[in-house]
Structure 1
Amino acid sequence: MTIHLPRSCTSGATPWWRQLWVLVLAGGVLMGMALGARHVQGLFMLPIIAERGWTRETFAFAMAVQNLAWGLAQPFTGMLADRYGSWKVMAGGLALYAAGLYGMTQAHTSTALVWSAGLCLGVALSGTTFGVVYGALSRMTGAAQRSRALGLAGAVGGIAQFALVPGVQALLVSTGWVAALLLLAVAMAVLVPLALPFQDRGAAAAPDHRAPDAAAGQPLRAAVREAFGHSGFWLLNLGFLACGFQLAFIASHLPAYLLDRGMRAADGMAALAIIALANVAGVYLCGLLGGRHSKKYLLAGIYLARTAAMALFLLLPLSPATLYAFSAAMGLLWLGTVPLTNGILAQVFGVRYLATLFGFVFLGHQLGSFLGVWLGGLVFELTRSYDAVWYGAMALGIVAAALHSPIDDRQIVRSGLTAARP
């Protein structure tokens, strides 16, 4: 399938490094590495707490703070990207990511771990992942191709995540957790040039020549006030909270859960790798379907399917076969929610302040992530079991599906203009 560039991206003056295929690849790799380094943190938990003498709750709390810091920072990094350009925010986020990973190697107290793995990495993630990368891509692509472009970028990111899982596991075995974190820090610093194509300050004025963006002349404060007064905006927030709870709990605690059930460390690594690989197909498929079908009903279906997958995983006897089947199912449903949620925001409010608005919605996601990671560790320390957290994740999936159905996803009309529809 060919992605056709809008006129703003195909002028003779446009350098090759700002063409859409470069944006998709660069954004996908940058986002995939940032998410991948977070995705593998569950592999680091047991080696770190064994050497430092901490509990699972200590490590889980730092990861929970990371998710909360990510969510709290996302609206502000989105505003910075919308106002000053996405590439500057991405480059700064990568530099901060490298500093946070290095800080983890020097953390000898739980407070230092919270500062490095929690606050530092959380803020870094807000500048290197969905809100900023998808916001820039949405502004620099035409409305007709936007959903597919986001899906492709997510698929590229999924490949990067998949490659990182066995690579990090091999480093943990051969060099130890300190060297593995240091090498990840170097990788983040090396990625900084990938931010350069996203010089998008001038792209917001005309995202598609067929559908002018009504928000282009709207002040930021008015755009935020408009979104806050829209019921669908808050329903997306609440639904995304369930998404964050489910994914953060599984990514952080699944390897330890499997060890507790008598499986090997290699099984946990394989499960995370399968999730990342299946996510490649899942994100692309969701992006493709989002351009043809109702995004809110696709989101409701994803949450129900996740609940069913978790229920079967707990009900069936645990074996490599059931683990890998569960991982494949969850991977297909993993990050497909992000381009669909982003697409609803662009569909309703336009793309001018998309990074900012997605940042506020993503805050709900990260509140759920905070609870999923932290409660996973806390409940385990209190009960020596993760069962209650699994049940909570399934209940939230059902609630999220119900919340998405009544969302009014029609484009807002402003002064005779309509917001761009992807």
Structure 2
Amino acid sequence: MPETLKEKVSSQAVLIVICCSLVLLLTMGMRQSFGLWQTPISQAFGVGFTVFSLSLAIQNLFWGLFQPLVGGLADKFGSGRVIAVAGALQALGLIWLAYADQIWELHASAGIIIGISGAGTTWAVLMSVVARNVPENRRTQFFGMVSAIGTGGQIIIAPFNQYTINTFGWQEALIILAIMLSLTVPLAYFLRGKTSNNVKQHAETLSQALNRARKHTGYVLLSAGFFVCGFHVMFVMSHLPSYLQSQNMPDWLPGAAISIIGIANLVGTFVAGYLGDKFSKKYLLSSIYFMRSIVFIVFLTVPITTTSTLIFAAAIGLLWLATVPLTYALVGQIFGLRYFGTLSGLVFCAHQLGAFTSVALGGYVFDAFGSYDLIWQLTVALGLVAALLHLPINESPTVPKSAEVAK
């Protein structure tokens, strides 16, 4: 059957997808490299890992708590404005962190400022832009494409950050990173517009949409599963470098492992997005969480070596953010796009609560017991729980209350 006009992807949509990917590449490349600063910052301030772990935990908490609000602002006032302001705040937060000389400044800059700004330059806002500009029957595929290319920032930015830290020092490396992050501001120009301008839906207020989501068991289960995703991802990103150093691994290995996770993630996330348009998203999500637990078990069972670490990085990378396009597409599939930024933002809030928990708990457990063993075991258990949580989700679209009344 010939492709209809509705199904075609315009040149403008291609440009938007590219710009969203670049914004995500810069932002996530930064955020998923923060573990590289764990040791140098802790040494510079003469403290244990708990302090900077708390800064990163605060970052993820504020990112999550502000995501629904920022997503709502993007729905109402336009994504471009939100992305531009958030991009500028990210750069300023990095500069402040570079010149911080008191512990509270670590929490304020790396924690609060960079945390809040992350709500405007990552998935909830960017996926909303993509969703309203690509065909519905290819939405999950494009979500996967943006996630794959965007989070590929680990491939470039993580080893680059490792190089600048080793060559120039951790403070200078942050300034260089801030300059790179400032590029998100001009990119925001091409991401203007808001959902209400593109989506024709039955009139429904935000409170009605929130109530519809609250009563949907699947929405709650999806959020709980995304909590586990945040727990997994940020624990590995924030504490894998320190864990490898505690195992007397080579200095180059943490950056290389993060980079390999990013390379494998390119494949895993793109494939997940492709499969999400053809198969049940909930079963794909359940499979991903289950396989994560298996990968963690194998990594903890075999001796920790350079080879085992690189294999682990490749395996977990294939499953890394494969949950993202499936989770966001499921929100849009069930609830539509009118309040996509807000509803997906609330799901992402759960993700960040999981991230906050793992980052803070990881630092505390290591300082208290000198080992990450308890947290590794918890990652395995949570993965198995998440695999079960997704099975009963009802993927059928729901109907706004106003539409039911109209009938």
Task: Classify the TM-score, shorter chain.
Answer: over 0.9
Q: Is the 8 A contact 2:204 2:402 kept in 1?
A: no
1:350 equivalent to 2:336? Answer: yes
Summarize the Cα distance change of 1:277–1:8 in structure 2 as closer, same or farther, 3 Å threshold. closer
Q: Secondary structure at the match of 2:248?
A: coil
Q: Which residue of 2 aligns with 1:13?
A: none
Q: Which residue of 2 aligns with 1:210?
A: none
Following the alignment from structure 2 to structure 1, what is the Cα–Cα distance between the partners of residues 357 and 143?
28
Query: Of residues 149, 158, 178 in structure 1, which corresponds to 2:151?
Result: 158
Following the alignment from structure 2 to structure 1, what is the Cα–Cα distance between the partners of residues 6 and 181?
31
Q: Which residue of 2 aligns with 1:402?
A: 388
Q: Is the 8 A contact 1:60 1:374 kept in 2?
A: yes
Q: Which residue of 2 aligns with 1:251?
A: 237
* Equivalent residue runs for 1:230-309 within 5 Å: 230-309=216-295
CA offsets per residue over residues 353-396 of structure 1, 9 Å max, x none? 11100111111111110010000000001100000000011111
Following the alignment from structure 2 to structure 1, what is the Cα–Cα distance between the partners of residues 183 and 253?
30
Q: Which residue of 1 aligns with 2:57?
A: 64
Q: How many residues align?
A: 403
Q: Is the 8 A contact 1:40 1:165 kept in 2?
A: yes
Amino acid at match of 2:23: L
- The offset of 1:153, in angstroms, is 1.0
Q: Is the 8 A contact 2:365 2:371 kept in 1?
A: yes
Q: Which residue of 2 aligns with 1:327?
A: 313
1:124 equivalent to 2:79? Answer: no
- The offset of 1:414, in angstroms, is 3.7
**Ranges of 4+ aligned residues in structure 1 off by more than 2 Å:** 3-10, 158-161, 203-207, 413-418
- The offset of 1:185, in angstroms, is 0.8
Q: Is the 8 A contact 2:154 2:258 kept in 1?
A: no
Following the alignment from structure 2 to structure 1, what is the Cα–Cα distance between the partners of residues 327 and 64?
15
Amino acid at match of 1:132: V
- The offset of 1:158, in angstroms, is 2.8
Q: Which residue of 1 aligns with 2:89?
A: 96
1:86 equivalent to 2:98? Answer: no
Summarize the Cα distance change of 1:90–1:6 in structure 2 as closer, same or farther, 3 Å threshold. farther
5+ residue gaps, structure 2, are none
1:365 equivalent to 2:346? Answer: no
Query: Of residues 120, 129, 143 in structure 2, which corresponds to 1:136?
Result: 129
Following the alignment from structure 1 to structure 2, what is the Cα–Cα distance between the partners of residues 409 and 337?
15
Following the alignment from structure 2 to structure 1, what is the Cα–Cα distance between the partners of residues 287 and 80?
34
Following the alignment from structure 1 to structure 2, what is the Cα–Cα distance between the partners of residues 154 and 382?
36
Q: Secondary structure at the match of 2:191?
A: coil
1:381 equivalent to 2:367? Answer: yes
TM-score by length of 1: 0.92
- The offset of 1:4, in angstroms, is 8.2
Following the alignment from structure 2 to structure 1, what is the Cα–Cα distance between the partners of residues 367 and 6?
54
- The offset of 1:271, in angstroms, is 0.5
Q: Which residue of 2 aligns with 1:316?
A: 302
Q: Which residue of 2 aligns with 1:23?
A: 16
Q: Secondary structure at the match of 1:265?
A: coil
Following the alignment from structure 1 to structure 2, what is the Cα–Cα distance between the partners of residues 129 and 206?
21
- The offset of 1:145, in angstroms, is 1.6
Q: Is the 8 A contact 2:9 2:135 kept in 1?
A: no
Q: Which residue of 1 aligns with 2:165?
A: 172
Percent identity between the aligned chains? 38
Amino acid at match of 1:290: G
- The offset of 1:160, in angstroms, is 2.6
- The answer to which of 298-307 and 137-146 deviates more is 137-146
- The offset of 1:341, in angstroms, is 0.5
Following the alignment from structure 1 to structure 2, what is the Cα–Cα distance between the partners of residues 295 and 186?
38
Following the alignment from structure 1 to structure 2, what is the Cα–Cα distance between the partners of residues 6 and 28?
23
Q: Is the 8 A contact 1:140 1:200 kept in 2?
A: no
Q: Is the 8 A contact 1:300 1:401 kept in 2?
A: yes
Following the alignment from structure 2 to structure 1, what is the Cα–Cα distance between the partners of residues 58 and 275?
34
Q: Which residue of 1 aligns with 2:40?
A: 47
Following the alignment from structure 2 to structure 1, what is the Cα–Cα distance between the partners of residues 103 and 238?
17
- The offset of 1:205, in angstroms, is 5.2
CA offsets per residue over residues 282-309 of structure 1, 9 Å max, x none? 1111100000000011111110000000
Q: Is the 8 A contact 2:144 2:324 kept in 1?
A: no
1:149 equivalent to 2:149? Answer: no
5+ residue gaps, structure 1, are 11-15, 208-212
Q: Secondary structure at the match of 2:252?
A: helix
Q: Is the 8 A contact 2:76 2:196 kept in 1?
A: no
Following the alignment from structure 1 to structure 2, what is the Cα–Cα distance between the partners of residues 197 and 238?
34
